Chain A
């Protein structure tokens, strides 16, 4: 697997360059077509239905939703907390992936197993368990119930697997030869990490970060119990969408959902741009 064998250019950025891209062949065009058909039926058309419903009141509908002070506060809280947790995950996720791949110690296997559990836990159970441990009856005396920190906690729980699991396989694939060569040439550990390892991980980190942010802004079930659902303080956007639906206002619910979709797309695109910048610089 070593690129040195094929006499390729191994620059500091690693072999993260994707290589020559092909134009579509008939086979791959068919594949793309089938994939797009499924994607449309599953995602694009239903989301279009949401945007269409949102548009029933025109721009006025969107403005009304944004002007509602509870909704605006929920948007600020949700986006802010999701960004915070994503940053937390970038650091902790990479760190944990490193420990899982590059380190050996007793209990590492157990750590590996724990990582995916947040995905499998139904959100109601997560909510109950977090409330029991980090609420008024916390055995450790740590009570974040009904406070902003509870939102951070619940979001950190449900987004834990993302960056860890996207970075792990990449880290495992990294060619050790390159690092050893650099080390034998006298490069310090920090330099090797900064110039060789980290840039190779950037695509994986940004991929995980995009998913982490996306999941965080849409989270509902695990938050709602421990956060106390207090307007202006701990009420997230998903609850506002639910409230609009409960109140029979499908248009506002769809408008708010569309706004959040736009926010998510924006962040995803931003992360993609960041990833390209870093890949180009190396």
Chain B
């Protein structure tokens, strides 16, 4: 080999060998791991302790995180539009299904012990401090004098949980669609505002609009923990909110380790402390902001779920279809305030 060729060969080796080694290094999931997380808005606070605790474990040592949080639907569309990510943790399953349809997540994503879910919550009523109106159950929401605030499901996918819960109550144990429709219609007759997101709905309620707000238990707890002057009521029958998590097809090994941690007792305990109901057994923590911090997540006597009560999200989503959905029809027939 000539002198020049030797230099070229050595330079090439000097570049290629470390690159190969680095490649080997990250694929074995050690210190140079990176995880990108795309989640729904309120997860920013909840993920902070989870990520910190993960980074204390051996699998998580030295792993760096890239995070993006926003409205669940927006995040779903961003990922479909090319936002690179390892993990998506969204508000409702349809937002993940769309990413699956776009070919970015494997269709087997929900074949896990928790059916693809990472955090849970319940649909609850947020009321003024002290619950002056004495709201206890769904039927109380149809009383005169109740001024309801609930986010508009047309603008916010997450708002669907609230109205599906109401429909489920209307159907009750023996009723069917007509009863569900009748109840939701009656309840929405008391609506005074239909803000475009759960966050705006809470802001609207805190600014004095209405006297009952349909919200997620996790938001209510977090708001109270942050010092907002509200109370919340968990009715005896309500809908279980289930937030899905999925890894993208080319997710890093560190991301797989992170998901394992999120589903572990330690991870779930962190989420529980932030207001989310764990999806696994065996976590028992004090939850600041809950009605009873030492027993934050009492079992709901009559628990509706999307699968049991509606037969899956495809059927549940049909209620909101612009042209044929029953709930969409109620909303478009609503003339609030004349």
A231 with B207: in contact, given A146-B193, A247-B322 (CB under 8 Å)?
no
**A137 lies within 8 A of chain B by Cβ:** yes
Q: How many A-B residue pairs have CB under 8 A?
A: 88
**B236 lies within 8 A of chain A by Cβ:** no
Assess whether B156 is in contact with A233, with CB atoms less than 8 Å apart: no
Assess whether A137 is in contact with B194, with CB atoms less than 8 Å apart: no
Which residues of chain B have C-beta atoms less than 8 A from A239's C-beta?
Answer: 155, 196
**B98 lies within 8 A of chain A by Cβ:** yes
Query: Measured between C-beta atoms, what is the minimum distance from A244 to chain B in Å?
Result: 8
**A274 lies within 8 A of chain B by Cβ:** no
Assess whether B77 is in contact with A229, with CB atoms less than 8 Å apart: no
Which residues of chain A have C-beta atoms less than 8 A from B152's C-beta?
Answer: 229, 243
User: CB < 8 Å: which of A136, A230, A246 contacts B155?
Assistant: A246
Bound-state CA distance A136–B192 (Å) is 12
Which residues of chain B have C-beta atoms less than 8 A from A69's C-beta?
Answer: 332
Bound-state CA distance A221–B321 (Å) is 25
> Residues 226-261 of chain B: 1 if any A CB is under 8 Å from the residue's CB, otherwise 0?
000000000000000000000000000000000000
| B window 147-175: CB within 8 A of A | 152, 154-157
Assess whether A147 is in contact with B337, with CB atoms less than 8 Å apart: yes
**B8 lies within 8 A of chain A by Cβ:** no
Q: Whose C-beta in chain A lies nearest to the C-beta of B77?
A: A245
User: CB < 8 Å: which of B77, B192, B196, B331 contacts A146?
Assistant: B192
Assess whether A145 is in contact with B207, with CB atoms less than 8 Å apart: yes
> Residues 135-160 of chain A: 1 if any B CB is under 8 Å from the residue's CB, otherwise 0?
11100000001110000000000000
Q: Whose C-beta in chain A lies nearest to the C-beta of B157?
A: A246
Assess whether B195 is in contact with A228, with CB atoms less than 8 Å apart: yes
Query: How large, as a class, is the contact surface on chain B?
Result: 20 to 34
> Residues 219-243 of chain A: 1 if any B CB is under 8 Å from the residue's CB, otherwise 0?
0000011001111110000010011
> Residues 192-233 of chain A: 1 if any B CB is under 8 Å from the residue's CB, otherwise 0?
000000000000000000000000000000001100111111
A243 with B209: in contact, given A146-B193, A224-B196 (CB under 8 Å)?
no
Assess whether A225 is in contact with B203, with CB atoms less than 8 Å apart: yes
| B window 161-213: CB within 8 A of A | 192-196, 200, 203-204, 207-209
Residue among B157, B209, B321 with the highest chain A CB neighbour number at 10 A: B209
**B73 lies within 8 A of chain A by Cβ:** yes
Q: Whose C-beta in chain B lies nearest to the C-beta of A146?
A: B193
**A249 lies within 8 A of chain B by Cβ:** yes
Which residues of chain A have C-beta atoms less than 8 A from B334's C-beta?
Answer: 230-232
> Residues 279-322 of chain B: 1 if any A CB is under 8 Å from the residue's CB, otherwise 0?
00000000000000000000000000000000000000000111
**B335 lies within 8 A of chain A by Cβ:** yes
**A132 lies within 8 A of chain B by Cβ:** yes
A residues bordering B, Cβ < 8 Å? 68-70, 127-128, 131-132, 135-137, 145-147, 224-225, 228-233, 239, 242-249
Question: Given contacts A131-B204, A229-B193, could you give 16 more A-B pairs where the C-beta distance is less than 8 Å?
Answer: A69-B332, A127-B203, A136-B208, A145-B209, A224-B200, A225-B200, A225-B204, A228-B195, A228-B204, A229-B152, A229-B195, A242-B196, A246-B157, A247-B154, A247-B320, A247-B322
